[in-house]
Amino acid sequence: MLLTNISCTRVGAGRGLRLRTELLSEIFADFSHAFPELSFELDEASSTVNAQAIVRPGSRVVRMYGGLAYHAFVGADALVFTLLHETGHHLSSGGRLASRDELGCECAADRWALTKGSRKLRQETGRSFAIAEVIASLERLTGPVPGHCATTNGPKHCWAVNWSKRKRILAAPESIPPVQRCHLSEFFASETKYL
């Protein structure tokens, strides 16, 4: 979830901070249980409002940064979806990122999060999320256009760069088409060859 240009409005100290820390601990424990092939890291000290999938020699990591994990506008459902989306970069099939072909593209990660990922997390831990709450959190966090989804330009089959389209698709996960290839990577490759 590329949200790095958003300012961090952290939950307040005291009870709010303690409750968020407990919630994060529970969510991360559930993810470690449901997806033991991955490592889940929380960089609490970072004010970066982001999460990412990382490939290291011999390990695959999902990292969430403190600016997102402790953001006052981000609810539990959005935290769960974000971790599922990043997990989807590692475990989805279909479209791959142009920069790291061992990671699924944005659309494939969304599809996996809303289908296989959410089912496995619910089966293994009982944890689920409400997609309407996820969308509301993202819109509260970023305004009407989340992070990198700021354009309506780009490939017509890709929803990663079009927030209106992505929001419609996220709201109706049963209608998400399989992602066979990354149209966004192809689009960027074709755009840069003329520069």
Dump pLDDT digits (tens) for 93-149: 888 877 778 999 888 899 899 999 999 999 999 999 999 999 999 888 766 544 444
pTM: 0.83
Q: How far is residue 89's CA from residue 155's CA, in Å, rounded to a whole number? A: 20
Q: Does residue 95 form part of some domain?
A: yes
Q: Does residue 2 form part of some domain?
A: no
Q: Does residue 158 form part of some domain?
A: yes
Domain extent for 83: 15-192
Q: How far is residue 46's CA from residue 65's CA, in Å, rounded to a whole number? A: 6
Q: Which of 84, 16, 12, 10 is nearest to 51 (CA)?
A: 84
Token pair 């005291």: residue: 14
User: What type of residue is 164?
Assistant: S
Domain count across the chain: 1
Q: Does residue 117 form part of some domain?
A: yes
Q: What is the 3-state secondary structure (H, E, C) of the chain?
A: CCCCCCCCCECCCCHHHHHHHHHHHHHHHHHHHHCCCCEEEEECCCCCCCEEEEEECCEEEEEEEHHHHCECCCCHHHHHHHHHHHHHHHHCCCCECCCCCCCECHHHHHHHHHHHHHHHHHHHHCCCCCHHHHHHHHHHHHCCCCCCCECCCCCCCCCCCEHHHHHHHHHCHHHCCCCCCCHHHHHHHHHHCCC
pLDDT of residue 11: 74
For Cα atoms 158, 162, 165, give the angle at the middle one, nearest 5 degrees. 80
Residues 159, 110 contacting (CB under 8 angstroms): yes
Q: Does residue 6 form part of some domain?
A: no
Which residues lie closer than 8 Å to 114 by C-beta, 6 or more apart? Answer: 84, 131, 170, 173, 176
pLDDT of residue 147: 43
Q: Does residue 119 form part of some domain?
A: yes
Q: Does residue 104 form part of some domain?
A: yes
Bigger pLDDT: 147 or 179?
179
Q: Does residue 114 form part of some domain?
A: yes
User: What type of residue is 108?
Assistant: A
Q: How far is residue 101's CA from residue 114's CA, in Å, rounded to a whole number? A: 21
Dump pLDDT digits (tens) for 158-174: 666 677 778 888 888 77
Dump pLDDT digits (tens) for 31-82: 999 999 999 999 999 999 999 999 999 999 999 999 999 999 999 999 999 9
Angle 118-125/15-34 helices, nearest 10 degrees?
100
